Amino acid sequence: MDLKDRLTELKAKALSEIDTVEDLKKINEIRVNLLGKKGPITEVLRGMKDLSKEERPVVGSLANKVRDELTEAITQRREKLEIIKTARKLEKEKIDVTLPGVPVKAGQPHIIMQVIDQLEKLFLGMGYQVVDGPEVEEDHYNFEMMNLPKDHPARDMQDTFYITEQILMRTQTSPVQARTMEKHDFTKGPLKMISPGKVYRRDTDDATHSHQFHQVEGLVIDKHITMADLKGTLQIIARTVFGDEREIRLRPSYFPFTEPSVEVDVSCFKCEGKGCAVCKHTGWIEVLGAGMVHPNVLTMAGVDSEIYGGFAFGLGPDRFAMLKYGVDDIREFYLNDVRFLSQFAQKG
């Protein structure tokens, strides 16, 4: 058989083989066998040395053509097989998007943050600003500016963690009062602010004491602010947190930075004032401290106490949350036990 016929036959056989192969591995074998160094085409090319001068280019170009055609056929078949393979794989791995997914457990804000959020919303709605103050505070702001000079006996009750002699972990959010008053431009209008945050005291932890807890400070300074404004505001707080039926009661008290000062009780939400374990059978629960801002505090912060005055209050969201949700140990809030915390999923 001459070389040209061999090439034609070879091509026909190879093409039918390529067309019927179903396997990617096999098509690779075919390629190596047909086009490789030991393959039939190479063999034909090698035999060309025995051909006449005229025949050589004819056979040569035919051989090249056959090789190109086979290469192309192999490439196309391989692509087709690859597409089939992917399609089969997709078929097998098909996912049913209607199946229920793996549930992602949504968390919720910490219960104390929920109480703070509720108060922030309330006060923002009444035109107050929410101010942040530093937890690492200067003695100057924490005590001096709050009318608690060195050696003032009331400092003892708030003994705390000192960083240096002049720097400490703040014992109350009240220093934010002074910081905010100093910056406020009273020609532009009244100052109305709340400041929530962490405070620290060197207390021995027990069911009602934690060395770190929270406060929300409140301060209003303007002309003609009276104790009636304070009382109205306190009543709104009590009713928002503890229910619309609540009454409040003010008892005289003492804070160095307010004069007069009051302790604020709210009528018991558990027994409606009849007397129960929550209110220790008095019908009233003590919830916060407040008073009219002391003139010394105004003067020290650069506010003219002859023209301006106002009220301040300080409440404990930890205590609010304990009362509201019947939590009997403040330490629960800080143990980070999900079984405890997840009971207070926020509604809505």
Q: Binding-site residues, please?
A: 259
Task: Tell whether residue 142 is a contact of ligand PHE (CB under 6 A).
Answer: no
One residue of 133, 196, 256, 289 binding ligand PHE per CB under 6 A: 289
**Cα gap 135→158, rounded to integer Å:** 15
In the bound state, the residue with its beta carbon closest to ligand PHE is 314
Instruction: Answer yes or no: are the C-beta atoms of 178 and 300 closer than 8 Å.
Output: yes
User: Does residue 175 touch ligand PHE according to CB under 6 A?
Assistant: no
Other C-beta atoms lying within 10 Å of the C-beta of residue 320 = 24
233 contributes a contact to ligand PHE by CB under 6 A: no
User: Shortest distance, CB of residue 312 to ligand PHE, whole angstroms?
Assistant: 4
Residue list 51-80, contact with ligand PHE (CB under 6 A):
none
Q: By CB under 6 A, is residue 143 in contact with ligand PHE? A: no
Residue 176 in the binding site for ligand PHE (CB under 6 A): no
Binding-site sequence positions for Mg(2+): 259
**Spatial separation of the C-alpha atoms in residues 63 and 47, rounded to whole Å:** 11
Q: Which residues does 123 contact at the CB level (< 8 Å), separation at least 6? A: 130, 192, 194, 218
Under the binding rule (CB under 6 A), the answer on residue 310 touching ligand PHE is: no
Segment 208 to 227, residues that bind ligand PHE, using CB under 6 A: 217
Q: Is the peptide bond before 260 cis (omega within 30 degrees of 0)?
A: yes
Residue pair 108/344 in contact (Cβ under 8 Å)? The answer is yes
Out of 143, 200, 213, 255, which residue is the one contacting ligand PHE (CB under 6 A)? 255
Residue choice 237, 268, 312, 327 for contact with ligand PHE (CB under 6 A): 312
Measured between alpha carbons, how far is 238 from 42 in angstroms, rounded to an integer? 98
Interface positions, 314-333, toward ligand PHE (CB under 6 A): 314
> Residue 117 and residue 214: Cα distance in Å, rounded?
13
**For residues 224 and 160, is the Cβ–Cβ distance under 8 A?**
no
Q: Does 313 bind ligand PHE (CB under 6 A)?
A: yes
What is the 3-state secondary structure of 77-144? HHHHHHHHHHHHHHHHCCCCCCCCCCCCCCCCCCHHHHHHHHHHHHHHHCCCEECCCCCEEEHHHHCH
Q: Which of 114, 172, 195, 210 binds ligand PHE (CB under 6 A)?
A: 172
Q: Which stretch binds ligand PHE (CB under 6 A): 53-61, 67-75, 268-276, 309-317?
A: 309-317
Contacts to ligand PHE by CB under 6 A:
172, 174, 217, 255, 258, 289-291, 312-314
